[in-house]
Structure 1
Amino acid sequence: MKAVVQRVSEARVEVAGEVVGRCGPGLLVLVCAMRGDGEANAEALATRIAKLRIFRDDAGRMNRSVHDTGGEALVVSQFTLAADTTSGNRPGFSAAAGPDDGERLYLHFVEALRAAGVPVETGRFGADMAVHLVNDGPVTIPMER
């Protein structure tokens, strides 16, 4: 699985003008299941993200996790993270898991992040979404598992 993790002051996702998920201080996680991924990949990535120390401690260093800070997460599926741009001008997405596996693994990732103690809201899988965020820092971390 691939993810882009952004430390945010706030974030929300809308579908057709309706807010379907939001979070306050915490993480916006854009996530993509790749062909060949399984539940173990989703669980491992969720565990790593829950423990990722990208929040400031009292000394101003990035030394605290979202769990440590009591933060929240907004998780949005984004198959375009699988883009292959090695040739031509149009990205290819054949490395992304198919829709059924992608949705199943996305939901499994969300539940694994919740099981790690992080309050999670989500976007809507497969929908055309508008994602709004205030990136704190900015801090943006790409991850794979």
Structure 2
Amino acid sequence: MDLHKRRLLIVDDDADEVFFVENAFKGVSTPVEIRHAESGEAALAQIKTFNPGLILLDLNMPGMNGHDVLRAIKQDDETCGLATVIFSSSEQRADIDACYRGNANAYVVKPRSSDGYRELAENITRFWFETARL
């Protein structure tokens, strides 16, 4: 697999969430290079320079929210094929449906425990970086 495909961009304004995700990925079998964008605007800029294989995108951020970022990614010919996983605390059916209508590749509810974050990191690594072809 191309090394750039093992790059994960976390888009979340909550520093604690980013900390939990980054720590969880330290224990996975396949090394993953991780970068963080704390806003939608920063995410769109980093996509161009970092060239991630996967984006983990929070929905609820000030300014440009996750729906706006998803729309921008999927409407741009250069980034429309970029695997984008929504990473939200919302379990509302309306949020989930809206993200899939916006062409999100998956919707994941944020874990509530450190074990949940480790399991999430292992599952993302196993599927997105070891199984799926990006």
Please report the TM-score for the alignment, with normalisation by the length of structure 2: 0.34
Between structure 1 and structure 2, the one with the greater Rg is 1
Please report the TM-score for the alignment, with normalisation by the length of structure 1: 0.32
Tell me which of the two structures has the higher relative contact order, counting C-alpha pairs closer than 8 angstroms and 6 or more residues apart: 1
Question: Higher helix fraction: Structure 1 or Structure 2?
Answer: 2
